[in-house]
A and B are shown apart, each in its own frame.
Chain A
Amino acid sequence: MNTKDIVYIALFAAVTAVLGLFPPITLPVGVPVTAQSLGPMLAGAILGARRGGLAILLFVVLVAVGLPLLSGGRGGFGVFFGATGGFIIGWVVAAFVIGFLIEKFWHRLNVVTAAASIAIGGVIVDYAIGNIWVAAVVKISYWQATVGMAPFLIGDGIKVAIATIACLAVKRAYPLISRSR
């Protein structure tokens, strides 16, 4: 890992923090959507598995030691014991999975393969992990937690679309994945 990798990792940890500064948008159905979960999607899709996962891990560690970097100015070790703690830990795995898939598809990356990679990591994997926490903390079944998340999928769809377009645009303008291998 060279200096450039370290700087990229820090950059996407910081981008994820800055995305937390955007106020949540409330959809017509009344579900709030925050921009922050775009961070892991972008980190994985642009930096690849290893650097993307490490970028979000770095972000999560900084949150854990108490920096108020989560949207709404939250931070500190306590957030991992809350109902949404699993989603935040899930981001690390999500970024890694997205990066892994994007690398696999790198030479035939298009709207479909990029969107699928981002959706699998950023939505399916993240909810799979996050819902464990929701179920445990709220003391409901895993299935009940999963059903309860359905309204949030609208916001996730928007974020997958944004991350897909960004991933393809950056691949053309500033490809970082092929350069590293």
Chain B
Amino acid sequence: MIAGLYIAGHSALHRVAAGGKILALMVLGTGVFLIADWPVLAAVLMVVLVLYPLSGFGWHILWVQARPMIWLLVLFFAVQLWLNDWQAGLVVVLRLAAIVLFAALVTLTTKTSALLAALERAMGPLRRLGVNPQKVSLAFSLVLRFIPVIAQVASEIRDAQRARGLDKSILALIVPLIIRTLKMADDVADAIDARSFDAD
């Protein structure tokens, strides 16, 4: 799960720097909201769709990305049809599909580590605002490190509660989970200090 959604490949899009792709996504994300013409938006969506085979992804991968939003798109179209007209419905649907599918494409063609590294570089100028990129990068890594540990602790607590007949209660899970992981966090913080992490 924490491996991200990346699928290895050698296409042009795979080779573009992570920072460039994030920038393109921001431009596209803003751009489509400035366009209110459905034929233009349809053309944008076509370009995004064509990028999938060009990046080495088959229709199956495209379908996996698109499937979760199909019903949402149908719903939005219906709402627009009811409140306005079919053109307005198309604008909403095309806009959303173009952004979500392009965002998925960026994620599919970029390693998580490359995205995080780009992010760390992008944070360089924030140093002046008192943001320490080293601390932020430590925090990123710790989250990825903690997720499997917490999931493990949660399943241990669930087993213990089940043995006491409390398996239905999320509360019986949440409170011990938080207290146990806070204790763990204190130990981790000690270990980081003991390993002479230079926070300043």
Shortest Cβ distance from B72 into A: residue: A83
Interface size on B, residues (CB 8 A): 65
Candidate in A13, A18, A138, A165 with the most chain B CB atoms within 10 angstroms: A18
Known: A9-B139, A65-B112. A174 touches B119 (CB 8 A): no
The answer to whether A170 has its CB under 8 Å from any CB of chain B is yes
Could you give, for residues 87-109 of chain B, a 1 whenever the CB lies within 8 Å of some chain A CB and a 0 otherwise? 01000100010011111101100
CB-based contact B143/A58 at 8 Å:
yes
The answer to whether B121 has its CB under 8 Å from any CB of chain A is no
Among B79, B84, B112, contact of A67 (Cβ-Cβ < 8 Å): B112
- Interface residue tally of chain A, by bracket? 35 or more
The answer to whether B43 has its CB under 8 Å from any CB of chain A is no
Among A7, A66, A166, contact of B174 (Cβ-Cβ < 8 Å): A166
Residues of A within 8 A of B (CB): 1-4, 6-11, 13-15, 17-18, 21, 35, 38, 42, 46, 58-59, 61-62, 65-69, 72-83, 137-140, 162, 165-166, 169-170, 173-174, 176
Residues of B within 8 A of A (CB): 1-2, 4-6, 22, 25-26, 29, 68-69, 72, 76, 79-80, 83-84, 88, 92, 96, 99-104, 106-107, 110, 112, 115-116, 119, 135, 138-140, 142-143, 145-147, 149-151, 154, 170-171, 174-175, 177-179, 181-186, 188-189, 192-193, 197, 199
